[in-house]
Homo-oligomer: A and B are copies of this chain.
Amino acid sequence: MTTTETLLTGAALIGGTDVPGSGEPFQAVNPATGAALEPVFRPTAEDDVARAAELAHAAFKVYRHTGFEQRATFLERIAAELEALGDTLVERVIAETGLPEPRVRGEVGRTTGQLRLFAAVVREGSWTGARLDTPDPARTPLPKPDLRQRRIPLGPVAVFAASNFPLAFSVAGGDTASALAAGAPVVVKAHPAHPGTSELVGRAVRSAVRGCDLPEGTFSLVHGGVEPGLALVRHPRIAAVGFTGSRRGGLALVAAAAARPVPIPVFAEMSSVNPVFVLPGALAERGAELGAEFVASLTTGVGQLCTSPGLVFLAEGPGADEFVAAASAAVGAAAAAPMLNVGIAAAFTDGVRRLTGSAGVRTAATGTGTSDTCTGVPHLFVTDEARFAADPALREEVFGPSSIVVRASADRLPALAAELEGQLTATVHAAAGDCEQAGALLDELELIAGRVLFDGWPTGVEVGHAVVHGGPFPATSAPATTSVGSLAIERFLRPVAYQNVPDALLAPELRAANPLGIPRRVDGSLTGD
C-alpha cells in the first residue's frame, strides 16, 4: 500500500509539515519549450532550514536505533512509493529536464534499484564493521580487555541534489539511500531546476516515513539556492554533507564545512573530463568503429553526465585518421538538443566558444541545428600533444557534448596520463598486441581515477558492490569514498570501540551470541561468526 500525494504545492517538507518558502519566487522551466511550469516555489527560510536540522537531530536519537529489518523495509517502502507515482513522476521529470522518456523510466528503475540494494546491504550487516577481540583476564602484566567495535552513523546528513540526474542523484538518490541505510536522517536541498520532481519524490519519502512509523524528522526537503544550502551546511546539527554538482559549488560547501566550529566531512562529486586512451593495436584494428562508439557515449544525455568522455588521447599511427574521421562524421550528424536548463546551456556555449578560438585547436565537427538559450550543439575538437601540454585550459571540463581529441605518440601516453588531474573514470582501448603498453597505462591511470575501464566507454555507471564513482581531487573532495554502489554507506559511519561493556548493553551486532547472524571479524579473522 502506498499513500503518496501527487498534488504539487511549492512547499518545503519540514518533517511532517508543509512549509511555504519566502523571498524570490522561482519556477521550473521546460527546456524543450521554454514554458514556465506551475507551481511557484520560493527558497526555504533560514529558520525553517534550522527546524529541519533540529527535527533531524531529534529523529536521529530514534532512527539510529532502528533494527536492520525495519530500516531495510523503510528503504523498500520508499522504492514502492516512487513506483506508485507512475506516469505522474515520469511526466514531471520530462517537463522539468527535457530528458527523453526511456532515460527517465530507466532512471526511475535505477533509483528504486539503489534503494533496494541498500536494503539488502543493511540486512547483510557487514557494513557495521563488527570486530570482537577476545579478552584474556589472565594475561600479564596487564589483563587483555574485552574490546568490540562497530560503526555508527555520524548524525543527520545534508544532501544536495544534482541537476543532471533528477532522480538517481537527487531527493531519493544514492546519497539519501546510503545515508538512510547508515542510520542517518536526511535533509535534502532540492535542485532549483526540478523543484516539482523534488516535491513529488519528497512526498513519496515522507509517506514512507509515516507508513513505517518513523520520527517525522527522518526526512525533510528544503528549496532554493545558495543561501538555504549554506544555512544547512553551517547548522550545528548537521554531521555530514553529500553533494553532486559543479566544482565551484562543491568547493564552496567544503569551505563552509571546514569553517564551522566543528568541521564536518563533505562528500562532493565535482568535475571530471574522463580521459580515454586508444592504443595503437586497437586503433589499427577498429579505429573507425571506435570513433563512432566514442560519439555515442559523448552525446548520451546531451553530454550531461559526470562520466562523459571529454578528452581522448589517440596513439598516432594507423587508424588514428579513421577514428577522427568517423567521430567527426558522427558529431556532424548529431542534432542540437535541449540541455537541462539555461544555466547549463550557457556554460556549455561559453566553453565551446573558448575552445573554438583556442590556438592550435581545430574544430573537427559541429552538430546540426543551431544553439539557442537552452540548446547544446555537439562539438568535436582536435589538437596535438604539444599544444595540449602547453594549454592547461584544455584540461578543464566543458559540461555537455564537447570533447577534445589529442593526437600523441604512443610511448608518451603513460606520461600524459600521469600529468592529469583526478578523474572519476579513465578508459583504455587496447588490442591483443597492446598488452605491455596497456599495463604501463593502467599503472598510471589507477593513481588518478576512481574507475578504470577497458574497451568500453565511461558513461553508464553500474550500481553494485564493486563500482567506484569517486576519485582523486578535483573529481571529488573525498577520494577514499564512492557516491555510487554499496560502499557509499561507509561515508556516513564512524567506528566506535566498546571496552568491557556488559553484553546486555551492547547493540545486537556486537553481542556475544551474534543474534543477527552477521559477518564479524573475531581476533582479526573474518570467521562469519
Contacts and interface: CB of A to CB of B under 8 A. Distances in A.
A442 B505 CA distance: 8
* This protein's copies in its complex: 2
Contacts of A468: 149, 495-497
Interface in A190-226: none
A121 B521 CA distance: 12
A500 B456 contact: yes
Interface stretch (A11-19, A84-92, A348-356, A443-451): A443-451
A416 B262 CA distance: 18
A138 interface: no
A438 interface: yes
A438 B505 contact: yes
A464 B133 contact: yes
Interface stretch (A45-53, A139-147, A168-176): A139-147
A519 interface: yes
A149 B464 CA distance: 11
A515 interface: no
Given A467-B133, A526-B526, A454 B496 contact: no
A98 interface: no
Contacts of A470: 494-495
Interface residues of A, number: 76
A63 interface: no
Interface in A412-449: 421-422, 435, 438-439, 442-443, 446-447, 449
A480 interface: yes
A320 interface: no
B126 A526 contact: yes
A524 B120 contact: yes
Contacts of A466: 131-133, 147-149, 497, 521
A449 B482 contact: no
A124 interface: yes
Given A450-B496, A521-B465, A435 B505 contact: yes
Contacts of A149: 465-468, 487
Interface in A478-492: 479-482, 486-487, 490
Contact of A487 (B132, B446, B495): B495
Nearest to A145: B462
A499 B451 contact: yes
A502 B514 CA distance: 40
Contacts of A1: none
Contacts of A318: none
A160 interface: no
Contacts of A133: 462, 464-467
Given A147-B464, A455-B500, 17 more contacts: A142-B460, A145-B456, A147-B466, A147-B467, A149-B465, A152-B446, A262-B422, A265-B480, A438-B505, A450-B495, A452-B497, A454-B499, A454-B500, A468-B496, A470-B494, A479-B494, A486-B524
Leading 4 A-B pairs by shortest Cβ distance: A453-B499, A468-B497, A147-B466, A131-B466
9 contacts: A149-B487, A449-B496, A451-B497, A454-B501, A454-B502, A465-B523, A465-B524, A480-B490, A526-B528
